[in-house]
Amino acid sequence: MARFTTSDALSLRYEDTGGNKPVLLLSNSLGTRLEMWDPQLPAFASVYRVVRYDKRGHGESQPPAGPAGFTRLTSDAIELLDHLGIAKADFCGLSIGGMTGMWAATHHAERIGRLVLCNTSAAMPAIDMWNQRIATVKREGMKPLIPNIVDRWFTKRFQEADPAAVARVVSMLETTHPEGYAACSAAIRDMDQREGIRSIRLPTLVIAGTHDGSTPPEKGRDIAASIAGARYVELDAAHLSNIEQPGAFTDAVMGFLKT
């Protein structure tokens, strides 16, 4: 298990397929761990040196002592590239990972090549909802939140068709550190990148899910409309579109990155 230490002294877990191929950095959703990308890894690794990591307080990464804004969350990703001696990488992020990608593209554009923003939003202004989630997870842990999360993240059709895949994600949620979830939830609550992303000039693909209960497709369309030249793809999926529609998701990302 590879680890690196951030500039604020947290130990974060990462995986690196290594080699001399172009680099693709993956950033996963709130409440999951780097294994979220397992459906894409064989295809991605056939063409790219794939780097993926557990966010602070997620998976096997150390939890933070308090809230973490996107300046800090994005610094974690950039510092991982520094640790590996990588000057520039293509970036693919889903949900909070996509929010991290937007921040990276507006504040560290020289480090990012192509940008893929999946099932994400430039702002999530439901402050009371986020405050309630933070209070619940700090008081009772992750368990009370999971049934509602599953229904927003996967269609009922998929929950019935592939219960094993859903169970793997539930296990990720169950093992997410409450302080890590709370810190990242605060970052989402306080974020508004709607104006900032208008300055992005990187080649960008936006992927949304038609049935996404967390970041509905209109959020993706708004992002694509705000970034000059951005492409937009909508999949027949809910929030974790890379798991619910792994083939279509992989094809969309690979087709974009290779152009």
In angstroms, the Cα distances linking 48 to 21, 199, 250 are 5, 27, 13
pLDDT band, very low/low/confident/very high, at 67 (cuts 50, 70, 90): confident
The pLDDT of residue 65 is 84
Query: Assign residue 119 a region: left if phi > 0, alpha if psi is -120 to 50, beta otherwise?
Result: left
Percent of the chain whose pLDDT exceeds 70: 100
Across 175-197, average pLDDT: 97
Non-local CB neighbours of 212 within 8 Å, separated by 6+ positions:
119, 152, 237, 238, 239, 241
Q: Name the one residue in this structure whose structure tokens are 């510092």.
A: 79
Give the H or E element holding residue 207.
strand 204-209
Output the average pLDDT for the chain. 97
Beta bridge partners of residue 90, listed in sequence order: 24
Distance in angstroms (rounded) separating the CA atoms of residues 230 and 216: 18
The pLDDT of residue 128 is 93
> pLDDT higher for 23 or 125?
23
Distance in angstroms (rounded) separating the CA atoms of residues 103 and 93: 11
The pLDDT of residue 259 is 83
pLDDT band, very low/low/confident/very high, at 66 (cuts 50, 70, 90): confident
Distance in angstroms (rounded) separating the CA atoms of residues 138 and 87: 38
The pLDDT of residue 230 is 98
Rg of the chain, C-alpha, whole Å: 17
Is the pLDDT score of 35 beyond 90?
yes
Across 196-220, average pLDDT: 98
